[in-house]
DNA sequence: AAAAAAC
């Protein structure tokens, strides 16, 4: 079982953004070792498919088996195509390992030009987005996304490495602005992410004539059974939304025509497909689109794919190309992680106010993560009562309140934001240098083991696109200690101790992190 | 001893 899973695992080390590259490159560039590893990966593929066949049941088996037979039939071409993707130059610097579903040859994109994007789209990339060349994950995935036969793709890459650009370019390159019907859908887990992603689409699409619609602009849910159903059919090409509203638009309201949808994106895909996440809605959306128009390209993107959801995704998304990263390679070196053991719950406030805030003031912006909605507003009240300027956001607030809090934080007016996990994923604000886990993320049911993926997403709110960042974990109980140790082991990363009562410890540590 | 969306 474990062997099989290991074979399944395809690592993509070094999906690191530009600024961090120098360090990483030293590690990977000199030896020819990864080349050997590549060969092994190539040779293992037929065997891997057999393992997969044994493990899977039902519908999926047929598909995977077909694939395995294909491979057995023409091992030469498979091996050849695998070799073709070992594009020497790119390979040497990216160390990306990927698996492709057929014998379509893909060459890593060193420039955006070679992707055959429209001039309008390229202009958006250069003059609006100020992008020069593809990041590593972009170089690896964009050819897979935009090259016929438009295979499905499951792609994992580090926090802040440029995944959004991958799927936004994917969507924009596939839609026809002359056709006034929905052609691309992007599903996101939160309202904030919908708004953020829509802004990227609008910016990148500036010269293309493509328009967007999003569930966040729709009227809020009270008064409007009427006004929503009265809405006209959507004529925009790119639709961005949260799963519930998208589903309603497709089924009850019938304002979202899915017959022309060519590409369907799941951002934060592991959460969107997780059973305790949005699995039901996501599957429903996929099925409905598949029924009204087959052959829709599905893209899954996330920084994390826990083992279960990874297997589910591979079973669910047929004939997908995929790229995965070993979990041990996921924590970014640019984000230094610390733990502060507090003698009692009250000391958390003390550490926050007297140790962290004074140091944080000079840095940039900070996000403090807590476990519940209630503790978000409680901590907010407490800090405000003590004279600290901060805001808080959680799903219990009205949409207007949430928008307002985010807008103030985006503008830099507020430096300290208290948040539940509504903001743990995807939120992209370059100025965030500090993440504080006021509570460690844990599962909601006994034995309250750590939520590894959430931890990684939270600390990934800092250190965007290779910038430096720091994360402080406040611990009180023995269970906190145990859970943090598990997190260290899980990601094979070092979380150093900082004394809670030392005046200078935080300052010193931030200097070490390259922040002070 | 939960959060997210949304009914």
Q: Name the band, by pLDDT with cuts 50, 70 and 90, for residue A210.
A: very high
pLDDT value at residue A30: 25
> Does the pLDDT of residue A337 top 50, yes or no?
yes
> Which nt has its C1' nearest the CA of A371?
B2
Q: Give the angle A70-A75-A80 at the CA atoms, nearest 5°.
A: 120
| pTM of the complete model | 0.82
Q: Average of pLDDT values for A373-390?
A: 97
pLDDT value at residue A481: 97
Lowest mean pLDDT among A36-50, A96-110, A214-228: A36-50
> Does the pLDDT of residue A24 top 50, yes or no?
no
Residue A483's nearest CA partner among A441, A450, A448 is A450
Distance CA A507, CA A96 (A): 37
pLDDT in tens, A445-490: 999 999 999 999 999 999 999 999 999 999 999 999 999 999 999 9
Positions in chain B where some atom is under 7 Å from a protein CB = 1-7
Write out A359-424 in H/E/C secondary structure: HHCCCCEEEEECCCHHHHHHHHHHHHHCCCCCEEECCCCCHHHHHHHHHHHHHCCCCEEEECHHHC
Protein chain A, residues 241-280, with a C-beta closer than 7 Å to any atom of nucleic acid strand B: 241-245, 248, 271, 276-278
Q: Average of pLDDT values for A395-416?
A: 97
Distances (CA, A) of A279 to A71, A285, A312: 31, 10, 10
Take residue A267 and report the two structure tokens written for it. Answer: 């951002």
pLDDT value at residue A233: 94
In whole angstroms, B2 C1' to A187 CA is 22
Q: Name the band, by pLDDT with cuts 50, 70 and 90, for residue A219.
A: low
> Does the pLDDT of residue A222 top 90, yes or no?
no
Q: Give the angle A270-A326-A316 at the CA atoms, nearest 5°.
A: 35
Which residue has the closest alpha carbon to B5 C1'?
A244
Which residue has the closest alpha carbon to B2 C1'?
A444
Q: Which residues touch A501 (CB under 8 Å, ≥6 apart)?
A: none
pLDDT value at residue A78: 27
In whole angstroms, B7 C1' to A195 CA is 22
Q: What is the DSSP string of A143-195?
A: HHHHSTT--EEEEE--TTSSHHHHHHHHHHHH--TTS-S--EEEE-SSHHHHH
pLDDT value at residue A22: 29
pLDDT in tens, A223-261: 434 444 447 899 999 999 999 999 999 999 999 999 999
> Which nt has its C1' nearest the CA of A422?
B4
> Does the pLDDT of residue A59 top 80, yes or no?
no
Residue A210's nearest CA partner among A258, A157, A174, A263 is A174
Q: Is the CB of A371 under 7 A from strand B?
A: yes
Distance CA A424, CA A460 (A): 8
Distance CA A345, CA A153 (A): 45
Protein chain A, residues 457-486, with a C-beta closer than 7 Å to any atom of nucleic acid strand B: 479
Helix or strand (DSSP H, E) at A50: helix A33-55
Q: Name the band, by pLDDT with cuts 50, 70 and 90, for residue A147.
A: very high
Distance CA A38, CA A33 (A): 9
Q: Name the band, by pLDDT with cuts 50, 70 and 90, for residue A127.
A: very high
Residue whose structure tokens are 């650009």: A165
| A317 close to A289: Cβ distance less than 8 angstroms | no
Residue whose structure tokens are 């994109």: A109
Q: Name the band, by pLDDT with cuts 50, 70 and 90, for residue A516.
A: confident
> Does the pLDDT of residue A114 top 70, yes or no?
yes
User: What backbone phi and psi angles, to 5 degrees, belong to A194?
Assistant: -60, -50
DSSP A474: E
Q: Which residues touch A406 (CB under 8 Å, ≥6 apart)?
A: A192, A195, A393
Which residue has the closest alpha carbon to B1 C1'?
A444
Distance CA A405, CA A303 (A): 26
Residue A418, strand partner residues:
A368, A392
> Does the pLDDT of residue A71 top 90, yes or no?
no
Distance CA A484, CA A488 (A): 6
> Does the pLDDT of residue A33 top 80, yes or no?
no
pLDDT value at residue A266: 98
| A23 close to A333: Cβ distance less than 8 angstroms | yes
| A167 close to A186: Cβ distance less than 8 angstroms | yes
In whole angstroms, B1 C1' to A271 CA is 21
pLDDT value at residue A48: 34
> Does the pLDDT of residue A11 top 90, yes or no?
no
HSE-up (13 A, CA, CB side) for residue A392: 24
In whole angstroms, B5 C1' to A402 CA is 15
């Amino acid at each position: 079982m474990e062997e099989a899973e290991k074979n399944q695992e395809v690592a993509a080390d070094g999906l690191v953004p530009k600024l961090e590259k120098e360090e990483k490159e030293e590690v990977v560039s000199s030896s020819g070792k990864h080349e050997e590893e590549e060969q092994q990966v190539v040779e293992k593929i037929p065997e891997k498919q057999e393992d997969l066949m044994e493990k899977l049941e039902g519908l999926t088996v047929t598909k995977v088996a077909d694939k395995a037979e294909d491979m057995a039939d023409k091992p030469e071409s498979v091996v050849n195509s695998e070799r073709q993707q070992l594009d020497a130059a790119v390979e040497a610097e990216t160390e990306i390992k990927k698996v492709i579903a057929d014998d379509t040859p893909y060459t890593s994109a060193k420039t955006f030009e070679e992707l055959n994007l429209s001039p309008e789209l390229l202009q958006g990339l250069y003059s609006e987005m100020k992008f020069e060349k593809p990041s590593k994950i972009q170089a690896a995935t964009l050819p897979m996304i935009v090259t016929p036969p438009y295979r499905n793709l499951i792609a994992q890459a580090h926090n802040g490495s440029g995944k959004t650009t991958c799927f936004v370019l994917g969507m924009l390159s596939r839609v026809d602005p002359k056709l006034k019907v929905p052609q691309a859908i992007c599903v996101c887990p939160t309202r904030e992410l919908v708004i953020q992603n829509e802004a990227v689409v609008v910016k990148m699409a500036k010269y293309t004539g493509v328009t967007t619609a999003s569930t966040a602009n729709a009227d809020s849910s009270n008064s409007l059974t009427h006004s929503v159903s009265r809405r006209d059919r959507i004529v925009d090409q790119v639709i961005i939304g949260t799963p519930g509203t998208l589903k309603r638009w497709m089924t009850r309201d019938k304002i979202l025509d899915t017959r022309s949808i060519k590409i369907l994106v799941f951002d934060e895909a592991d959460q969107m497909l997780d059973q305790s996440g949005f699995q039901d809605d996501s599957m429903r959306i996929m099925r409905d689109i598949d029924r009204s128009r087959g052959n829709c390209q599905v893209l899954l993107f996330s920084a994390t794919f826990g083992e279960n959801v990874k297997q589910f995704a591979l079973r669910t998304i047929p004939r997908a190309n995929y790229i995965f990263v070993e979990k041990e390679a996921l924590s970014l070196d640019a984000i230094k992680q610390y733990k502060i053991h507090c003698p009692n719950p009250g000391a958390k406030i003390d550490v926050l106010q007297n140790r962290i805030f004074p140091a944080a003031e000079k840095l940039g912006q900070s996000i403090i993560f807590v476990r519940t909605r209630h503790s978000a507003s409680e901590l907010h009240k407490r800090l405000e009562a003590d004279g600290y300027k901060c805001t808080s956001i959680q799903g219990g607030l009205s949409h207007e309140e949430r928008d307002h809090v985010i807008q103030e934080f985006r503008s830099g007016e507020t430096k300290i934001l208290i948040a539940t996990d509504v903001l743990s994923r995807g939120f992209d604000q370059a100025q965030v240098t500090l993440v504080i886990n006021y509570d460690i993320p844990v599962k909601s049911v006994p034995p309250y083991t750590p939520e590894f993926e959430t931890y990684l997403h939270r600390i990934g709110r800092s250190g965007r696109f290779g910038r430096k960042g720091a994360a402080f974990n406040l611990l009180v109980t023995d269970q906190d200690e145990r859970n943090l140790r598990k997190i260290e082991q899980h990601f094979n990363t070092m979380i150093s101790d900082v004394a809670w009562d030392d005046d200078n410890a935080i300052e010193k540590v931030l200097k070490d992190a390259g922040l002070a």
